[in-house]
Structure 1
């Protein structure tokens, strides 16, 4: 839903993630929402839960080639907000449930490299051998995971991508099976209709 000149809202009737790990994690995450103060029927997460969602969303979008700069901007802004609560161990544990804790941290690091202040960037030490990793990460954000700029080296990204592909293959098989049975029903329906017409012709003489 989009209101010109104002804001846009995305409404999902199912989770926008395909893997079972993400499905289970999102179910647990949604159980943590609470009714907004002075808000009718409006629920929200606390700062840590909101950050968990943004980080696992960014990891998923990165793997599927749909991560945009605005997502990394959100990561940077919400991480600074959540940092005030000093619950980083809880954040790490929650990200492990989605099996993207390392990948999500890399994307967060990248957001600080792009949008952080000089002091913030200096506080995040980056080893020389890590620079190539972030270089590939950065190019994959801009151009998608094409492998054109070097192979993906993050194991969690590779595992998540593999899980998504398996789920897509399963969905394709289900769609093909449903299409086969639908066409089979249509065929028998056509045969019955033709037999009925033939019966009517034969016995109308």
Structure 2
């Protein structure tokens, strides 16, 4: 994790490249749509989160060369390695989620009636997306056409999670708290825990390869 942090500090073009992508995309949406209705605002926000996650997280494994992976194999264990990747990408996506939300509120208007709950959900959702795509990037890194394989594997898996996030997020646009909110949040946390457990169980087999 320390290595990834140092790389982000030294190679800031990567971070700023994703940030520029976020700003330009939201600005184009603002020029095209102005301040949309609540449902459209909610859907656009999560779609932006999805593509930001793909751009920010995919490079975590795709940028690692075979020689570097061999070095990591000699100095670290598979569980330590995958957990550090999951944690770093979760923190990176956490920052991106907050910045995306701030830009959305500035340019696309503020339809939120419960902003603090939406902030919490945006951070949780960003972490959830990062966990899934980090795990998929680890699988795709062992195959050819890695980026294409990650997209093929990722979007069928991520669609139910996105639908769940958008459904939970609707509470922030209403002054009435919906029934079953706690169960949906626990379901989302359970999905995150399942991804972490699967990564811990399955990544050692990829590690040996």
Q: Same fold (TM over 0.5)?
A: no
Q: Choose between structure 1 and 2 for higher RCO, CA contacts under 8 A separated by at least 6 residues.
A: 2
Over alpha carbons, which structure has the higher Rg? 1
TM-score (normalizing by structure 2): 0.29
TM-score (structure 1 length as normaliser): 0.30
More helix by share: 2
